[in-house]
C-alpha cells in the first residue's frame, strides 16, 4: 500500500469525523438536555461504563490485574468507593488511596 492511500484514508476519516461533529453542533441548538432521550443516553452510558469496569475487575485479561488476587481487586474497589464518598466525591484522593491499597495488598501481604 502506498503512502498516498494512507494519506487519502486519513483525509476521508477526518472529513467524516468533523462533518458529523459539525452536524451535531448545529442540530443541538434546539435540543433540551432534560429530555427523556438524554436521560436514556445517560443511563445507557453509565451502564456500559459500569459493565466494562466490572469486567476488568472480575475478569482481567492482561497486566498486573491478572497476576493479582480477586480479593485484592475487590478490596481496592471497595476502598475506592468508600474514600470517594467520604471525601465529598474527590476522584483524585479516591484513586490515590485505592491504588496504594492495591499495591500494599499485592506486594506486602
The pTM score is 0.66
pLDDT at 109: 79
Residue in the structure block whose three cell numbers are 459539525: 22
Helices within the chain (DSSP H only): 3-27, 36-58, 64-67, 70-86, 91-108
Q: What are the mean pLDDT values of the chain's consecutive 10-residue runs (109 residues total)?
A: 82 92 82 85 94 94 88 95 96 96 90
Amino acid at each position: 500500500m502506498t503512502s498516498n492511500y494512507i494519506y487519502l484514508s486519513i483525509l476521508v476519516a477526518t472529513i467524516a469525523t468533523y462533518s458529523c461533529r459539525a452536524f451535531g453542533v448545529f442540530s443541538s441548538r434546539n435540543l433540551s438536555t432534560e429530555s427523556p432521550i438524554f436521560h436514556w443516553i445517560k443511563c445507557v452510558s453509565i451502564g456500559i461504563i459500569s459493565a466494562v469496569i466490572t469486567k476488568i475487575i472480575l475478569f482481567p485479561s492482561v497486566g498486573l490485574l491478572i497476576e493479582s488476587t480477586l480479593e485484592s481487586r475487590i478490596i481496592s474497589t471497595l476502598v475506592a468507593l468508600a474514600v470517594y464518598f467520604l471525601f465529598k466525591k474527590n476522584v483524585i484522593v479516591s484513586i490515590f488511596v485505592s491504588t496504594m491499597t492495591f499495591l500494599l495488598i499485592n506486594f506486602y501481604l
